[in-house]
Amino acid sequence: MAKCAYQVLGAMIGLILVSFGTIDYAMAATVENVASGKHVTQTDTAAGSPATLAIDGDVTTCSITDSSAAELVVDLGDNYLIEEVSIHAESISQWVTYARGWIGDVYSYPTSVYGPPDPSDWSGYWLDVVLKKAVYLSTFEIYESTQNRVGYIQCYCGNPGAWTDMFVRTPSTPSMTSEIFSPTILTSSCFSNTCYVKSVSNANMSIDAIKLHGRADMSYKLGMGVTKGVYKAERIMNTSSSNPAKWGPAVIGLYRYIRVRANPQNDELAVCELKVNGYPRTPHYRVITGIAMSNSPVRTASNVVSVIECASICLQQTDPVCMATQYNQVTKSCALFGDLEHTKDSSNLSRTVVFKFAAHAFANMN
């Protein structure tokens, strides 16, 4: 049965090679999210936030660990050429946890604005508010009983930072018609937990509650490797400039295991969506001539009778993984390579065989 299966595989590869022949360069396979639906684990789990939520395709659900010295690991189940990795940080919604309000020159500490909304309101012309956790602010929800009285919103952005306009009412500002005033903010790059709300012309506002939304400022340490626990490609990814944070590995290589840690590990790990775009390793090949591989082979097989057999040996080589192979027709040798680094060399008559999904790495050599 095993011999029959090998013959079928060889025949299939033979058909592929005969169909495409010897070509200079080839198109790539279709990229896909190779992490979707794969096996994922994390060190521990906060209530209701299992590791599977990190790869469920929904950025509003998050895997969260219970401890800070934690990690999340995805087993892709096979080796893939990774083109890009993206991580969505947690979106955070918070009610105000501290407030100081002014009426004339007299101030008070109105707990009635903490939220959620209730029958009691605070009235005044200036309200300082503080959140439990600083975030990159995206949306304000001000539950205002007296409509269209909010004139200004400023927040203290950065550390060290400065007071920054988040909203300034103008004649073109749409009139509020609902209980919740949610203005379009002027910047999405404000990292803050401290703001103030000021009324128009010092008229009293009546505010019941304030809720702010934003994204967490997360730094992740990403590692990728062929063997679990051995991560050769590592990168620090931050959501300070964008969410999701994205990284395209500079080193071309096959990877199976993806590890995510907080950086530094001083808070729980929250991953709302981990997306790994890559190309599957399949038994479809392209044959290329005039190529010199840059690095030494991981091993060389002797007495190989054909390029088809050489391709089959590459497919079966998994540790270390084989990404490309060169067949020398004169010496009947098959050199297996663990990377795709190469140069163009028209004098090299060896036939280079690469997986279809990796052929795009050779597309810029002509």
* Residue scoring higher pLDDT (355 or 329): 329
Based on the domain organization, do 157 and 295 belong to the same domain? no
CA-nearest of 119, 104, 127 to 210 is 127
> What is the pTM (predicted TM-score) of this model?
0.65
Q: Does one domain contain both 205 and 309? A: no
Do 100 and 208 fall into the same domain?
yes
- Cα angle at 119 between 115 and 124, to 5 degrees? 75
Q: How many domains is the chain built from?
A: 3
Answer with the residue of higher pLDDT: 146 or 299: 299
Residues 41 and 177 both lie in one domain: no
Same domain for 320 and 245, yes or no, is no
Q: How far apart are alpha carbons 260 and 178 in whole angstroms?
A: 42
> pLDDT tens for residues 69-128?
999 999 999 888 888 999 998 889 999 999 999 988 899 999 999 989 888 899 999 999
- Per the CB < 8 A criterion, the answer to whether 72 and 107 are in contact is no
- For residue 296 the two structure tokens come to 């030494």
- Domain with residue 9: its CATH number is 3.50.4.10
> Which of 233, 264, 280 represents a domain boundary (last residue)?
280
Are 40 and 115 in a shared domain? Answer: no
**Tens digits of residue pLDDT in 332-351:** 999 999 888 888 888 888 88
Are residues 6 and 19 located together in one domain of the fold? yes
Q: Has residue 284 got a pLDDT over 70?
A: no
Percent of the chain with pLDDT over 90: 45
Antiparallel, parallel or unpaired: β 150-158 and 273-280: unpaired
CA separation for the pair 16, 33 (Å, rounded):
26
Do both 287 and 146 map to the same domain?
no
Domain boundary among 247, 262, 280: 280
Q: Mark whether 223 and 264 lie in a shared domain.
A: yes
- Judged by average pLDDT, the poorest of 138-152, 324-338, 349-363 is 349-363
Which residue range(s) make up the domain with 289? 2-29+282-362
Q: Indicate if the pLDDT at residue 147 is higher than 60.
A: yes
194 lies in the same domain as 302: no
Q: What is the pLDDT of residue 360?
A: 67
Domain finish residue from 190, 215, 240: 215
What would the mean pLDDT of 260-276 be, rounded to a whole number? 91
Same domain, 98 and 185: yes
What CATH number has the domain bearing residue 200?
2.60.120.260
Average pLDDT, the chain: 83
Same domain, 120 and 234: no
Closest among 169, 129, 122 to 149, alpha carbons compared: 169
